[in-house]
Amino acid sequence: MKAGLFTFIRDQLRTVPPVVQGDLTGKTIMLVGANAGIGLEASKHFARMKPARLILACRNEQKGKAAIKAIQEATGYANAELVQVDLDKFASIDALAARFEKEQLALDILVYNAGVLMTKHELSSDGWEPTLQVNALSAMLFSVLFVPACLRAAEARPSSHPRIVIVGSFVHYLAVMPKSVLQADSILRQLNKPEEFKQTALQPRYNQSKLLGLFVTRALAKHLARTPIIALNPHPGYCYSELRRNYGRLDAISDWLMEKLLARTSEEGSRDLVYAAVGGTEDEDALRGAFTNLQHVQEASDFVIGEVGQETQKRVWAEGVAILSEASPRFKEIVDIHLSA
């Protein structure tokens, strides 16, 4: 599907469908990036569905506790709990997953809502540009490490389909992968180089990271095809957000104007996350690897579904497996046992 500025504006001006309702009785849901914005609003919606456990995975303890208080005040739900995780540290994600494995906990729904938008090139302690790491590599690591927990949930409820939701974006339609990247020995390592980092008001690096996140989702869904687990990639729309807090003055002014004209509220954006987590039950197989927008499945970009895009997806997955296997031996074990198809 081709999509550009006109499609973006048209979608932003459409009425957002009401939030879907689901039965979360007895279920466990974890939402990564839940202390503000669409993550917090989605958590409130989930809380109203009364899950057995609602786990908020946040980096900042103080903000996480404030989110739990806000959820309880808005919904009366008192079972929200906080776990801390730092998404630009692979070891932090691995440690959180290890806690789940040690206790053999089941996870019915994982929503990976975290994301960053950097305006200058820098490297995390793991040696990765944070936009690439948090929006793509950490999304892959988090999702794969919690596959066993999702499988335990499926075993406990044989008719259920646990879901892994990696929040995506319309901007994957706008992403461009230069020849220097596509022709490199490693797509991810080439993107990690300073010379490939170009960030303007058009957000090329952020767009690329969301394209990579969609590739990860589609590849994960393919490898999970023989399991009950469904992986999908919802677009919450352009919302009022702290994501763009690092903008310079001119970009901040233009973004302020765009927000006034087009932005959805965080609550409106959260509805697409809720749909991805509990909606579409009339045909769940159609959700496998799907990109969704305004609570329906939408064809991904022409690049994604084309021959070059499909080959790029295979390479991104293979490179991700190699990189993350070094960061987490458990990751490689899960891939070999559950995702080798």
In a structure prediction context, what are the per-residue pLDDT tens digits for the chain, which is 341 residues long? Answer: 777 777 888 988 899 999 999 999 999 999 999 999 999 999 999 999 999 999 999 999 999 999 999 999 999 999 999 999 999 999 999 999 999 999 999 999 999 998 898 888 999 999 999 999 999 999 999 999 999 999 999 999 998 999 999 999 999 999 999 999 999 999 999 999 999 997 655 579 999 999 999 999 999 999 999 999 999 999 999 887 665 555 555 566 566 677 777 889 999 999 999 999 999 999 999 999 999 999 999 999 999 999 999 999 999 999 999 999 999 999 999 999 999 76
Which among 173, 165, 179 is positioned nearest to 210, based on CA atoms?
A: 173
CATH number attached to the domain at 5-15+22-338? 3.40.50.720
Checking phi first, is residue 104 left (phi over 0); if not, alpha (psi -120 to 50) or beta? left
Q: How many CA atoms lie within 13 A of 311 on its CB side?
A: 7
pLDDT of 121: 93
Q: What share of the chain is helix, strand, coil (3-state, %, to 5)?
A: 55, 10, 35
pLDDT of 181: 97
Tokens matching residue 69: 């208080």
pLDDT of 140: 99
Phi, psi of 157 (to 5 degrees): -135, 85
pLDDT of 199: 63
Question: Where do the structural domains in the chain lie, given as residue ranges?
Answer: 5-15+22-338
**Contact yes or no for 190/208 (Cβ under 8 A):** no
Which among 89, 215, 334 is positioned nearest to 207, based on CA atoms?
A: 215
Q: Which residue has the tokens 């303007």?
A: 200
Whether the model pTM is above 0.85: yes
Q: Kind and range of the H or E element at 80?
A: strand 80-84
pLDDT of 102: 96
Tokens matching residue 6: 């006109």
pLDDT of 201: 53
The Cα 187–Cα 181 span in angstroms is: 5
**Contact yes or no for 35/60 (Cβ under 8 A):** yes
